[in-house]
Amino acid sequence: MLREKFKHDEAGTLGLPIRIVVLTVVGLIGFCTILTALSNAPTPPKPMYATANVSVLSLPSTEGDSNTETNLSLPVKVFDSENRGIKGANVIAWSPDRKKAYSGVTDLEGNVILKISNPGLPPGKAEGYIKIKVMREGYRDFTSDYFLKVIRS
């Protein structure tokens, strides 16, 4: 009985095609707005890395002479995921006892030489690690608590 009513009553179908067209157009406009917003989103920062051309720094023994000045040069190379040097990156290194910090800015090829004077080892230890942090706008910060091992020989 209900079926028969639908066959003879066209009130429910009047205007249906135009409603479908209007809803489709509104949906497409919304979809295009979302795509535009996504394409204008900022790009995520790229990763960067740092290495040194040495794996261990050896400090001279200071038995009996606490006034001995120890100056070391630590060459650091900062590069991106495609092995290109990153210019203008700020490099900060902390001595193994974390009491002194040394800093520098990379050159055009991503190289910097940090001048480390009198790095102290943690109390009672014969070895420690230099911590490093590299920062540059447009890149994710690189941090390594165990960047370079330092031993007392």
Could you tell me if 75 and 60 are in contact, meaning their C-beta atoms sit under 8 angstroms apart?
no
Q: What is the Cα–Cα distance from 120 to 129, expressed in whole angstroms?
A: 10
- Count CB atoms within 10 A of the CB of residue 52: 16
CA 137 to chain CA mean position, Å:
10
Q: Describe the strand order of the beta sheet including 90-94 as a list of residue ranges.
A: 56-59, 142-152, 127-135, 90-94, 101-105
Query: Among candidates 78, 76, 100, 83, which has minimal Cα distance to 148?
Result: 76
State pLDDT tens for residues 13-51.
Answer: 666 678 888 899 999 999 999 988 888 878 889 999 999
What confidence category does residue 80 fall into, taking pLDDT thresholds of 50, 70 and 90? very high
Output the pLDDT for position 62.
62
* pLDDT at residue 125 tops 90: no
Output the pLDDT for position 68.
63
